[in-house]
Amino acid sequence: MKKEQGPILTMSGIHKRFPGVKALTDVSFRLFPGEVHALMGENGAGKSTLIKVLTGVYAIDSGEIELSGKTVHIGSPQEAQLAGISTVYQEVNLCPNLSVSENIFIGREPRRLGKIRWKQMHAEAKKLLEDRLQLHIDVTKPLHSYSVAVQQLIAIARSLNISAKVLILDEPTSSLDRNEVKQLFQVMNNLKAEGLAILFVTHFLDQVYEISDRITILRGGEFIGEYAASELSRIELVSKMIGKAFVELDQLPKVRGTASKELSDVTAEAVQLGRKGAIEPFDLRIHKGEVVGLAGLLGSGRTELARLLFGADRSDEGILSVHGATKAIGSPRQAIDHGIAFCSENRKTEGIIEELTVRENIVLALQASRGWFKTISRKKQDEIADEYIKAININPPNPEHLVKNLSGGNQQKVILARWLLTEPKLLILDEPTRGIDVGAKAEIQKLVLSLSDKGMSVLFISSELEEVLRVSDKIAVLRDRNVVKVMTDDELSQQQVMQAIAGG
Amino acid sequence: MVKHHLFWPLTVLGALLLFNLVYSPAFFRIELRNGQMYGSLIDILNFGAPLILVAIGMTLVIATKGIDLSVGSVVAISGAIACLLISKGADQNAFGLVMLAVAVALALSVALGIWNGLLVSVFGIQPIIATLILMVAGRGVAQLISGGQIITVNSETYNYIGAGALGSLPFAIYVVLIVLLVASLLTRRTALGMFIESVGGNPTASRLAGIRSRAVMFAVYIFCGLCAGVAGLLLSSNVSSADGNNAGLWYELDAILAVVIGGTSLNGGRFYLMGTVIGALIIQTLTTTIYIIGVRPEITLVVKAFVVLIVCLVQSEAFRKTLVQRFKMRKYPLEQEVKRHA
């Protein structure tokens, strides 16, 4: 770290208001060349807003941004890029149908006489990926033929290409597995050594300490402090983020297990249910009030299994029975009618309806069950929305807020509320805590436990093994699109589950 | 107030009316002749009725992220079939015959709506292509029905629909009010409106939330077809004839324009029926105004396009922002000047 150079980026006294919300209040932020700087905070703390301010998506109300010692006005994402600020967002925003090299050079293809010089472009793309990112792939293939992790690296490569001084990585690891994270960190370390300043946003505490030099904490849109990572303990970090003495997540009732429960009624049972190319035939029995965890690496078939149960995809073999009766579930509509609910892992594309309000998003599934004409009265809708906003702590507590203006964690809660309202017998949660902060994570885990105590069955999918272990009575382990093992109470140790995931 | 979705459409309409107030005060004169009201304002409502109807249907289609290019052809078909049936009758004034003709025309329009709905929601063809088929073919069907001729009818009963008066107002205005009322009730009193906005906003998420998006899409295309059918009846009965070639020509474009001016986004999602009505009125007022001030016929379209451009710019938030910023930039040196002197 070469601090004597002085910061490359200084933001001071930044204020930003949205109608009804103070998103940022007097926030400062500094970034030095050759460092990885973690921006931490709960959902709604203002991290995303700060980044959007920095990348020219939002205009600031007041405050000053200095880049390389000069005051700059960043009016648009293009201006940010020209100034040397590049961003890789949580959701990769590239063109999946174009080739890797086209994605890297889009808009700046090497040309001669107006024609794109394909050979040169492919060669340069290949060189860039190999030299700086240690990524050896065929750059002429379309982007969608690569995993999300590779796509993420390609997104980074693309932003590097524009003579970047500052690289912003917004939740780059949320959909990566352990090895992929390692690869990403390797790349980050290389770039850091080259003198690039990296702003890193994540919810994984381990990763913060693994890679970051310094940490800036925001809370409720306010600047809490800037610390050297080596001088800030985890407990301090978390308590500063949530602003109260830290209740350790581990204190949640961890003793799950079938012993404490009467497992008589079967809510749902799959017998040799499968779908070609998605998941091999599997058996799974979910009892009343049971939390079944699905563990496995990304792409092991967890989501595919859930989608079969919910009828989002059709099964092409096997039997699914709900409450003892065989059901052919061919659509989400039918699954919902049988008391199944499904929170997708893709909040934005498969969960929320951005343009609608919190209230409308909450009542949507219940209204869909009732059909066109049995309308839920506006008064009743308001009551429902208020009730759930209070019950699961949706912030800001305004039912008429457009859901797109909420933070990720609160959007997740809105979708949860939507499904809880339908009083499902089986609730399927696919990565319900992805990309949301520690506090909200604990809230959601607690909610799952209390729901199961009330007799609801839950299918809980998560990439975080600890989390799965904490909430589940039973864990089904998936590997390579197969359910390889179903483990119950006394077998539930991290070690054993890990072994099952890894195989051998 | 500026935030309200009707603010800009109403402002534009107001500005147009204000222009007329200054340019030709006679614009606002309403006379009572034989108990019926006459005047430019009444004309706008009367002649604008078909466009408003088509645009109301179009609003719901656009809200689902779709589009219906076939409305102009449906207008022509509906008018042609009604006029054909009446012209074949022994007594063209017979109430039963006219009712039958109306019923057949509307049933045919619904069937055409089903056709569009089928292509879009069941076969998954992109709306712009799916409805383009009927836009082209429908024009041909209309000409087939009318045998390539203009069918004229001599039926006072039929003529009443588009040219008659109830109380002192044209009957067409009541038709518009009824359709508008039905559309509002259907979308705001039932859950259909929420479903439409949800499907338009995010089709995948809507399906996963249990909404039958196919049924919703079917419904809007059928309703749009029906609206176009009613519009076709108004148009043909107003002039007591059906012209397969020209009836409803370019209506789809005016209707889409009305919807957009009214604040509904072509990206689907939120829709505003009242906005659309005002949007259609703006277009009709503009047309009438151009006639009144006597713009040379060969440049009317250019003038119309120019005004539409301004309307769209005024409504564009990005444009307004740029304008405001320019304005601020210009003020900036002045402020510094003031400070220096202070």
Task: Give the model confidence (pLDDT) of B294-321 as tens digits.
Answer: 888 888 888 888 888 888 888 777 888 8
Determine, yes or no, domain membership for B108: yes
pLDDT of residue A31: 92
- Whichever domain contains A311, its CATH number is 3.40.50.300
Determine, yes or no, domain membership for A262: yes
Judgement on whether residues A411 and A437 belong to the same structural domain of the protein: no
ipTM of predicted assembly, 2 dp: 0.84
- Whichever domain contains B167, its CATH number is 1.10.3470
Cα–Cα distance for residue pair B57/B72, rounded to 1 Å: 12
Nearest-neighbour CA in chain B from A331: distance (Å) = 8
A291-295 β-sheet, strand order = A340-343, A426-430, A457-461, A291-295, A474-479, A482-488
Mean pLDDT is lowest, of A127-131, A188-192, A249-253, B247-251, for A249-253
Phi, psi for residue A363 in degrees, rounded to 5: -80, -5
| DSSP label of B155 | -
Cα–Cα distance for residue pair A439/A431, rounded to 1 Å: 16
Q: Which of residues A369, A393, A423 is at a domain's end?
A: A423
Judgement on whether residues A32 and A76 belong to the same structural domain of the protein: yes
Confidence of residue A248 (pLDDT cuts 50, 70, 90): very low
Give which of B208, B216, B324 to mutate to test A binding, by max A Cβ within 10 Å.
Answer: B208
Q: Which of B 204-233 lie inside 8 A of A, CB atoms?
A: 204-212
Q: Which of residues A360, A392, A423 is at a domain's end?
A: A423
Judgement on whether residues A72 and A215 belong to the same structural domain of the protein: yes
Determine, yes or no, domain membership for B300: no
Determine, yes or no, domain membership for B321: no
Judgement on whether residues A237 and A259 belong to the same structural domain of the protein: no
How far is residue A85 from each of residues A62, A109, A261, A413, B275, measured CA to CA in Å? 20, 20, 55, 32, 41
How far is residue B194 from each of residues A355, B60, B61, B99, B144, measured CA to CA in Å? 11, 11, 14, 35, 40
Indicate the SS3 state at residue A172: coil
At A413-435, the pLDDT tens digits run 999 999 999 999 999 999 888 77
Judgement on whether residues A356 and A304 belong to the same structural domain of the protein: no
Q: Which residues of A touch B317 (CB under 8 A)?
A: none
Considering only CA atoms, which of B70, B33, B98 is closest in space to residue B233?
Answer: B98
Judgement on whether residues A303 and A358 belong to the same structural domain of the protein: no
Judgement on whether residues A110 and A217 belong to the same structural domain of the protein: yes
Determine, yes or no, domain membership for A344: no
Q: For residue B198, what is the nearest residue in chain A, using CA coordinates?
A: A353
Indicate the SS3 state at residue B279: helix
Antiparallel, parallel or unpaired: β A36-40 and A197-201: parallel
In this predicted structure, the answer to whether residue A210 has a pLDDT above a threshold of 80 is yes
A418 and B209 in contact by Cβ < 8 A?
yes
Determine, yes or no, domain membership for B60: yes
Q: Which residues of B touch A350 (CB under 8 A)?
A: 204-205, 208
Give the count of domains, chain B.
1
Provide the domain limits for residue A375. 349-423
CA B142 to chain centre: 20
Cα–Cα distance for residue pair B147/B144, rounded to 1 Å: 5
Nearest-neighbour CA in chain B from A304: distance (Å) = 14
Considering only CA atoms, which of B37, B41, B11, B13 is closest in space to residue B25?
Answer: B41
Judgement on whether residues A157 and A71 belong to the same structural domain of the protein: yes
Which residues, listed in sequence order, are joined to residue A27 by a DSSP beta bridge?
A: A14
Judgement on whether residues A9 and A24 belong to the same structural domain of the protein: yes
Residue from the list B191, B201, B210 with its beta carbon closest to the beta carbon of A353: B201
Cα–Cα distance for residue pair A81/A164, rounded to 1 Å: 8
Judgement on whether residues A403 and A492 belong to the same structural domain of the protein: no
Determine, yes or no, domain membership for A412: yes
How far is residue A138 from each of residues A95, A125, A126, A156, B201, measured CA to CA in Å? 16, 10, 8, 17, 36
The encoded tokens of residue B84 equal 């054909």
Cα–Cα distance for residue pair A205/A207, rounded to 1 Å: 5
Provide the domain limits for residue B186. 7-294
pLDDT of residue A267: 87
Determine, yes or no, domain membership for B312: no
The letter for the amino acid at B147 is G
User: Residue A237, class by beta-carbon neighbours within 10 Å (0-12 exposed, 13-18 middle, 19+ buried)?
Assistant: buried
Q: How many helices (H) and strands (E) does chain A have?
A: 16, 22
Judgement on whether residues A234 and A203 belong to the same structural domain of the protein: yes
Determine, yes or no, domain membership for B337: no
Asked if residues B229 and B110 have their Cβ atoms less than 8 Å apart, the reply is yes
The stretch B206-213 carries a mean pLDDT of 93
The stretch A325-340 carries a mean pLDDT of 90
Determine, yes or no, domain membership for B323: no
Asked if residues B210 and A365 have their Cβ atoms less than 8 Å apart, the reply is yes
Give the count of domains, chain A.
3
Asked if residues B81 and B108 have their Cβ atoms less than 8 Å apart, the reply is yes
At B30-86, the pLDDT tens digits run 888 887 888 889 989 999 999 999 999 999 999 999 999 999 999 999 999 999 999
Residue from the list A349, A364, A374 with its beta carbon closest to the beta carbon of B209: A364
The Cα angle at residue A140 between residues A298 and A136, in degrees rounded to 5: 55
Block residue for tokens 């409450």: A323
Judgement on whether residues A139 and A62 belong to the same structural domain of the protein: yes
Question: Dmax of chain B from CA atoms?
Answer: 91
User: Residue A427, class by beta-carbon neighbours within 10 Å (0-12 exposed, 13-18 middle, 19+ buried)?
Assistant: buried
Q: Which of residues A246, A277, A292 is at a domain's end?
A: A246
Determine, yes or no, domain membership for B156: yes
